[in-house]
């Protein structure tokens, strides 16, 4: 009996060792075989906006690197929550990723009463895409030429509407902070993405907007919209003559939205590494960088760990900002 028990333990240990070795052996094999079919890249906003432009530019290069199509799927709504919820609930195999942002992965959990996901637990970070610039702009119907004139107009007309690409977005936060620091009253008008916002701004349905610059830049350059200021800590190379809001009199003002690629929780390390390498290769490409910079987007790559750290830090920071601004979305 003792001999039988000893022999059984021996075989169990041997089987365990083989299983471990087998698991180790499959790790590089997984990295070599992934991807074997198209990858779905969910953009949680409407087509035609900043996230759409960046995803399509970067995704096209990633397709070349990975040898499989990267298919952009626009799924807007609820400040980006609907699209990112689809990412969170997808299979953790690397064939569905999404473009998360400062809003979806750091701000929204603090201002939406009901969140379909927890950004701290339901995603695997892949890597940063970069930073966008928020622009304060007016349509042709509003007779103001600078921030000082806009503040004077708002002081005389409390409750002026300001449009953004969605409730809970970084543009929404930009508008709330502008109202606070300028001591003026505004009414937020959220849209489902930048494209419909721009259409109404040009058409005069709304007078003022905070938008991500890449989506609005062509219309600013064409003279259909007037840029009054940018929200970042420095001027945009795409609009060198447009001041920052700090330069325009709001000394403590600076918001710089970031974007990153995330997969669902539990994404295997070899898959994360493969996606990260393809993403970094795209952002290092001269043609990709030139196109993004010309659109007012600043590409910046990172490791998965760096994006994870940034997300956690921003989650805590923006929780305090949202509470101070009393931001809520029903």
Angle between helical axes of 213-221 and 194-203 (0-180°, round to 10): 30
Q: How many CB atoms lie within 10 A of CB 262?
A: 28
Give the residue numbers spanning the domain of 50.
39-132+257-325
Whether 117 and 265 share a structural domain:
yes
Whether 96 and 146 share a structural domain:
no
CATH number assigned to the domain comprising residue 156: 3.40.190.10
- In this prediction, what percent of the chain has a pLDDT beyond 70? 90
Is 2 domain-assigned? no
CATH number assigned to the domain comprising residue 269: 3.40.190.150
Whether 143 and 206 share a structural domain:
yes
Is 239 domain-assigned? no
Q: How many CB atoms lie within 10 A of CB 42?
A: 24
Is 25 domain-assigned? no
Whether 107 and 168 share a structural domain:
no
Whether 57 and 128 share a structural domain:
yes
- Name the helix (H) or strand (E) containing 211: strand 208-212
Q: In the listed set 212, 230, 248, which residue is the last one of a domain according to the structure?
A: 230
pLDDT, tens digit (0-9, with 9 covering 90-100), for 138-159: 999 998 999 999 999 999 999 9
Is 241 domain-assigned? no
Is 4 domain-assigned? no
pLDDT, tens digit (0-9, with 9 covering 90-100), for 292-320: 998 888 999 999 999 999 999 999 988 88
Is 246 domain-assigned? no
pLDDT at 68 over 90: yes
Rounded Cα distance between 54 and 288, Å, is: 9
Angle between helical axes of 2-33 and 269-284 (0-180°, round to 10): 20
Q: Give me the pLDDT at residue 197, please.
A: 93
Listed residue (172, 114, 161) closest to 318, CA to CA: 172
pLDDT, tens digit (0-9, with 9 covering 90-100), for 82-95: 999 999 999 999 99
Whether 116 and 140 share a structural domain:
no
Whether 57 and 110 share a structural domain:
yes
How many independent structural domains does the chain possess? 2
């Amino acid at each position: 009996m003792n001999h039988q028990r000893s022999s059984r333990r021996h075989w169990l240990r041997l089987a365990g060792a083989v299983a471990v070795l087998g698991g180790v052996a499959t790790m590089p094999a997984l990295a070599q075989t992934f991807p074997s079919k198209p990858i779905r890249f969910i953009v949680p906003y409407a087509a035609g906006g900043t996230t759409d432009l960046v995803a399509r530019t970067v995704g096209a290069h990633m397709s070349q690197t990975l040898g499989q199509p990267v298919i952009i799927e626009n799924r807007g709504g609820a400040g980006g929550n609907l699209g990112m919820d689809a990412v969170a609930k997808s299979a953790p195999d690397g064939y569905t990723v999404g473009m998360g942002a400062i809003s979806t992965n750091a701000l929204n959990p603090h201002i939406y009463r009901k969140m379909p996901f927890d950004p701290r637990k339901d995603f695997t970070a892949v890597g940063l895409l970069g930073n966008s610039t928020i622009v304060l702009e007016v349509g042709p119907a509003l007779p103001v030429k600078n921030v000082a004139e806009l503040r004077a107009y708002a002081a005389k007309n409390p409750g002026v509407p300001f449009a953004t690409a969605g409730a809970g977005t970084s543009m929404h936060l930009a508008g709330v902070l502008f109202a606070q620091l300028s001591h003026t009253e505004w009414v937020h008008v959220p849209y489902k993405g930048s494209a419909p916002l721009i259409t109404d701004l040009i058409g005069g349905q709304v007078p003022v907007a905070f938008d991500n610059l890449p989506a609005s830049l062509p219309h600013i350059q064409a003279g259909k919209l007037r840029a009054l200021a940018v929200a970042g800590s420095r001027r945009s190379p795409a609009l060198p003559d447009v001041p920052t809001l700090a330069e325009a009199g709001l000394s403590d003002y600076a918001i710089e939205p970031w974007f990153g690629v995330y997969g669902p929780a539990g994404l295997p390390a070899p898959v994360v590494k493969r996606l990260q390498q393809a993403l970094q290769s795209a952002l290092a490409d001269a043609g990709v960088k030139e196109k993004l910079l010309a659109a007012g987007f600043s590409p910046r790559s990172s490791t998965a760990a760096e994006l994870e750290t940034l997300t956690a830090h921003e989650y805590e920071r923006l929780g305090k900002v949202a509470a101070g601004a009393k931001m809520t979305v029903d």
